[in-house]
Amino acid sequence: MFLTGKHMPRRTFLRGLGATISLPLLDAMTPAGRIMGQVRAEAERGRLVAIEMVHGAAGSAKYGLENNFWAPAGVGTDFDLASSALSPLDAYRQYMTIVSNTDVRMAEAFEPEEIGGDHFRSSAVFLTQQRPHQTEGSDVKVGQSLDQMFAERYGQTTPIPSMQLCIEPVDQAGGCAYGYACVYTDTVSWASETEPLPMIRDPRVVFDQLFGAGGTEEQRALRRQTNMSILDWVPQQIASIKRAVGAEDRRRIDRYLENIREIERRIEMVEAQNRSGEVRQLPSAPAGVPDSFEEHVKLMFDLQALAFASDVTRVFSFKLGRDGSSRVYPGSGVDKPFHPASHHGDNEDNVKDFAQINRYHVSMLPYFLDRLAELQEGESSLLDKTTIIYGSPMGDPNVHNHKRCPLIFLGGATAATAGGMHLRADDGTPMANVMLSVMHQLGLEDMVTFGDSTGDFSFTNPGVAAEAM
């Protein structure tokens, strides 16, 4: 293979009944003795994950600011995360950039009739930084979201240009409240200013889209009914591919297929448990949705990591909750429902409780970072090639303001995710400025503005950020 200059196409699939499995990048996909060409160039293309943590942070309230419950006191590289909800990320601080003190003005009420509608504007504004048109009808309008801008530019060569995931139900129709259509709070991704994209809650649906896209729903149902793994439909293709590649590629293929099977087993176990007749914590959720928040999030992160490894898609948006959710998170150590806990009334103990919930949500991220760090692609890991945006369009949820909104970047794909930095913006800086600069770093240099941006944000001069204190 290598001596003759022949090589395996990057888009090499294992196909069977209801199965289409894209392979990860292999050495055999790049001809030996040649200059790195299109295959490697495509492999170096960055990945993007945009995660919305809903309804703000305790660290945006007065008491939370004073005690550094979100952004640490120190700026530049000298900061301590001990009191911050970001403390679970300390082991990955070299991959983290904190940008504090930015505002999301487009989520605020501009007119009297918009007052009270913050829950139904915020999610729509997070990745668009534009003001939603107030309507309960079908004439929704906000703006194209940044994940879709990236997918439009760099996701068209992948089988799935982008995927949109969520943890809580987002399937309401019609109007919600305060004159806003439910779709504004049901998704963070907009293909255009009038095209909201649905989000997927069920890990089974995600799995089938990633690895069963070549079959019909009937074929996929047949595979599940026969209790066979998706890998059982492609044994000859697996054997043939492994005979054609070197030892390291065979090991890489084995690890990749083992990961697919492990996730498939976990989904099957969740479905079996939820169909057993036992009382569920989430009785209205699909069978593939775990009752456990942590298990659900980890499954979704594993699916994203595998999708990146196989280059099925390079873009995900991920909505971790709903502003008005009454879900309780036992793993956080707080027994209060989420939304009531967020309305802390500036009571110090209540603010601490909400900070603990924020910390619990952040504690899900290292699992994803571990997965990306373990997956090598060419000369570097997927973590080095990924930009993760994690933040909220809400500031202090107790008063529904959109100032001092939480925002961090993780990964190693851009200057924004070069890591080990806390940058505090000048008062009144739009979050849109930060998003615009990140998009420039991701390859969309021709973007002039984004949302209500007033200019670029510097990720390279911590001294300026320090002086902004």
How would residue 58 be classed by pLDDT, with cut points 50, 70 and 90? very high
Residue 75: CB partners within 8 Å, gap ≥ 6? 422, 423, 424, 462, 465, 466, 469
Average per-residue pLDDT for the chain = 90
Query: pLDDT: is 138 or 19 the higher one?
Result: 138
Strand, coil or helix: 254: helix
Strand, coil or helix: 178: coil
Whether the Cβ atoms of residue 107 and residue 394 lie closer than 8 Å to each other = yes
pLDDT of residue 32: 52
Per-residue pLDDT reduced to its tens digit, 386-405: 999 999 999 999 999 999 99
Query: What amino acid is encoded at 456 in this protein?
Result: D
Query: pLDDT: is 7 or 176 the higher one?
Result: 176
Whether the Cβ atoms of residue 430 and residue 404 lie closer than 8 Å to each other = no
As a whole number, mean pLDDT of residues 362-387 equals: 94
Whether the Cβ atoms of residue 452 and residue 107 lie closer than 8 Å to each other = no
As a whole number, mean pLDDT of residues 125-143 equals: 96
Instruction: Count Cβ atoms below 10 Å from residue 287 Cβ, excluding itself.
Output: 14
Judged against a pLDDT cut of 60, whether residue 68 lies above it is answered with yes
pLDDT of residue 467: 38
Judged against a pLDDT cut of 90, whether residue 28 lies above it is answered with no
How would residue 235 be classed by pLDDT, with cut points 50, 70 and 90? confident
Where in the sequence of the chain do the CATH 3.40.720 domains occur? 47-201+289-467
CATH number of 47-201+289-467, picked from 3.30.70, 3.40.720, 3.40.50, 1.10.10: 3.40.720
Whether the Cβ atoms of residue 443 and residue 153 lie closer than 8 Å to each other = yes
Phi, psi of 434 (to 5 degrees): -65, -45
Per-residue pLDDT reduced to its tens digit, 354-365: 999 999 999 999
Range scoring the smallest mean pLDDT among 124-128, 197-201, 244-248, 267-271 = 244-248
How would residue 461 be classed by pLDDT, with cut points 50, 70 and 90? low
As a whole number, mean pLDDT of residues 24-44 equals: 62
Query: pLDDT: is 436 or 463 the higher one?
Result: 436
User: From CA 220, how far away is CA 211, in angstroms rounded?
Assistant: 10
pLDDT of residue 425: 95
Query: pLDDT: is 413 or 163 the higher one?
Result: 163
Range scoring the smallest mean pLDDT among 123-127, 209-213, 343-347, 437-441 = 209-213
| Of 212, 209, 219, residue with least CA distance to 20 | 212
Whether the Cβ atoms of residue 442 and residue 149 lie closer than 8 Å to each other = no
Range scoring the smallest mean pLDDT among 30-34, 166-170, 324-328 = 30-34
And the tokens for 175? 């109007």
Judged against a pLDDT cut of 70, whether residue 35 lies above it is answered with no
pLDDT of residue 4: 39
Helix axes 293-310, 203-211, angle to 10 degrees: 10
Query: What amino acid is encoded at 418 in this protein?
Result: A
Whether the Cβ atoms of residue 355 and residue 87 lie closer than 8 Å to each other = no
How would residue 463 be classed by pLDDT, with cut points 50, 70 and 90? very low
pLDDT of residue 2: 38
Judged against a pLDDT cut of 80, whether residue 138 lies above it is answered with yes
And the tokens for 350? 């209540």
User: From CA 47, how far away is CA 151, in angstroms rounded?
Assistant: 10
pLDDT of residue 19: 78
| Of 122, 82, 143, 117, residue with least CA distance to 406 | 122
pLDDT of residue 279: 94
pLDDT of residue 466: 37
Instruction: Count Cβ atoms below 10 Å from residue 1 Cβ, excluding itself.
Output: 14
pLDDT of residue 33: 45
User: From CA 80, how far away is CA 71, in angstroms rounded?
Assistant: 9
* Burial tier of 51 (Cβ tally within 10 Å: 0-12, 13-18, 19+): buried
Give me the count of residues in the chain: 469
